[in-house]
Homo-oligomer: A and B are copies of this chain.
Amino acid sequence: MRILDTKSFSVPGFKAWGIHSGIKKNEKKDLAIIYSDREAAVAGVFTKNRVKAACVILNTAKVKSGKGRVIIANSGCANACTGKQGLADARATAEIAAGELGVKPDAVYIASTGVIGELLPMPKMATGIATAVGLLSTSGWEQAAEAIMTTDIYPKRSIVQEEIGGKTVTVAGIAKGSGMIHPNLATMLCFIVTDAVVSASMLKKALFASTERSFNNITVDGETSTNDMILCMANGAAGNKRLAAASRDLKKFQACLDAVALSLAKQIVRDGEGATKFIELEVRGARNPIEAKRAAMAVAKSSLVKTAFFGEDANWGRIMASLGNSGVEMDEARTDIYIGKAKIVEKGLAQGKAADREAAIALKQREIQIIIDLHKGKASATIWTCDMSYEYVKINAAYRS
The chain A residues found within 8 Å of chain B, CB to CB, are 48-52, 78, 80-83, 115-118, 179-180, 221-226, 302-304, 307-308, 310-311, 313, 315-318, 320-325, 330, 332-333, 345, 347-350, 388-390, 392-401
Contacts and interface: CB of A to CB of B under 8 A. Distances in A.
How many subunits of this chain does the assembly comprise? Answer: 2
A396 B324 contact: no
Given A349-B83, A390-B394, A401-B313, A223 B117 contact: no
Contacts of A325: 48-50, 223-224
Given A51-B324, A180-B321, A313-B399, 7 more contacts: A50-B323, A115-B317, A116-B316, A117-B316, A117-B350, A223-B325, A304-B396
Contacts of A389: 393, 397
A303 B226 contact: no
Given A81-B317, A321-B116, A350-B118, A303 B222 contact: yes
Nearest to A390: B390
Contacts of A180: 304, 321
A81 B350 contact: yes
A94 B390 CA distance: 42
A255 B180 CA distance: 41
A324 B49 contact: yes
A79 to B, nearest CB: 11
B393 A81 contact: no
A217 to B, nearest CB: 18
21 contacts: A50-B324, A51-B324, A81-B316, A81-B317, A81-B345, A81-B348, A81-B350, A116-B315, A117-B316, A221-B303, A223-B302, A224-B321, A226-B317, A303-B396, A307-B395, A308-B397, A308-B399, A313-B398, A315-B399, A315-B400, A390-B393
A390 to B, nearest CB: 5
Nearest to A179: B304
A222 B298 CA distance: 11
